[in-house]
Amino acid sequence: VPAGKRRHALTMARRPAPIDIWGDPSVGRALSRALDVSQTGEDALHRYTHGFHVYPARMHPLTARRALGLLGLGPGALVLDPFCGSGTVLVEAMLAGARAVGVDAGPIAKLVAHAKTRLVSASARRELVTAARRLAALVVAEGKAARRAGYEAPGPRAFPDVDPVKREERLRGWFDPHVRRELEALAATIAREKDPGLRAILEAILSSILIKMSRRSSDTSGEPVARRLARGMAARLFAERAELLAAGLGALADDVPPGTPAAEVRAGDARALEKAGIIPGSVAGVVSSPPYAGTYDYVDHHALRMWFLGLPQAGLDDAEIGARRHFHGPAAAVATALVGWERAFLKTLGEISRALAPGGRAALLVGDSLAGMGLASRAVFIDDVIGRLAPRADLALVAAASQARVALGTWEQRAFADRPKREHLVLLERPRE
């Protein structure tokens, strides 16, 4: 089953499934309210900047908001998401008046989470929209000029960290030629923008339209699709996305409690948080969704975006935990990969524990998963894993809520035949000394 088909199952049940609670009953009930977002409409998914950029295994904003509510945060408390992805938790933490810090190993995560959490004035938001419209108009004009005789195309962009020959190889065939020309023109024009803050936001906007403008069906599925994309469409969509982001940033700026800073987003490895600038004992609370074992592969999901935008992927390639690509091969290889993944998970829990102040809490959204493929595949029951590993990381298990998720495809159904596949929201606490 292509991972794309599973995407929604990770955060939303198709119809409400019963929830089991473990541990402290009142915390368990609150966790279950945070986990069960099946009855909520689309609105929360798109409010603020949440709907700006698709992201595989994005957390539901209401889960993030309700989980943050369980951390007992005081005003200005430091909240960390060590797997921040597209920044859902960071946006919600800002709305709760916290100082939000996100860490992620992937460059697309950093780009998107940063853009979604800027606190910008109304005039700067207008400037963003004006700049995007100007860029789009330039690109359309350029496209018209390109169709005239004697036109000389501008030279290719230079990327400090990316081999242009490899880039060309990776991108070949993934875009209609006229769309590719438009996207490259947008990227080249963005690269000339002098203000680095504005440039970073414009790049995130470009990233937000790339897959829609490509022949790849989605981030999680590499299936080629044919799309009929008119000339000028990429430029038009780019300008529209800028408007959407500016509106979302406006709503965020309006609703964030006074004095709340913009989130900080750092490139880093959740297994080495101090290296990512997180001071041990400084964090009041953590909300995060660590990668599931063998479900996603962010190097693959974001390959087209990273190659197009000239972003280095080596860091993610080395650091990514739980990636599907680690679980290829026979049963013995899957077993070895699981040992490595558990070691990485334990390291992460240890780092979360070290980052937390005594008494600090961590709410983790985790899912059972199928590791490996075909006959070699097997179920991973993540609640068992956390139960075993948390005490070794000096974290006490306060409560958990678990809700069944649909097992998709033959192998998953087989692996979860005797015990349902579930998603869990787990609350851990660093004991007071």
Ligand X SMILES: C[S@@+](CC[C@H](N)C(=O)[O-])C[C@H]1O[C@@H](n2cnc3c(N)ncnc32)[C@H](O)[C@@H]1O
Residues that bind ligand X (CB under 6 A): 55, 57-59, 83, 85-86, 88-89, 103-106, 109, 269-271, 289, 291, 298, 319-321
Instruction: Determine how many CB atoms are found less than 10 A away from the CB of residue 53.
Output: 24
**Cβ 135 to ligand X shortest distance, Å:** 26
Cβ distance to ligand X smaller for residue 319 or 363? 319
Nearer to ligand X, 54 or 138 (CB): 54
As a whole number of Å, the CA-based R_g of the chain is 22
Q: Are 349 and 429 in contact (CB under 8 A)?
A: no
Q: Which residues of 368-384 are buried (b: 16+ CB within 10 A; e: fewer)?
A: bbbbbeeebbbbbbbbe
Closer residue to ligand X in complex, CB, 33/60 = 60
Judged by CB, which is closer to ligand X: 253, or 319? 319
Q: Quick check: 282 and 179 in contact, CB under 8 A?
A: no
| CB 81 within 8 Å of CB 100 | yes
What's at 318, amino acid-wise?
Answer: D
| Burial classification of residue 347, based on how many CB atoms lie within 10 Å of its CB (0-12 exposed, 13-18 middle, 19 or more buried) | middle
**Which residue lies nearer to ligand X by CB, 108 or 398?**
108
Token code pair at residue 296: 């996603």
Least distance CB 417 / ligand X (angstroms)? 26
CB 97 within 8 Å of CB 67: no
Q: What token pair was written down for 402?
A: 């678990």
Q: What is the spatial distance between Cα 20 and Cα 27, in angstroms, rounded to a whole number?
A: 12
Residue placing its CB nearer to ligand X in the complex, 292 or 416: 292
Report which of 136, 138, 212 is spatially closest to residue 175, judged by C-alpha positions. Answer: 212
Cβ 55 to ligand X, closest distance in Å?
4
Please report how close the Cβ of residue 146 comes to ligand X at its closest, in angstroms.
36
Q: How far is the CB of 351 from ligand X (least distance, A)?
A: 9
Of residues 269 and 368, the one with the C-beta less far from ligand X: 269
Report how far Cα 256 is from the mean position of its chain's Cα atoms: 22
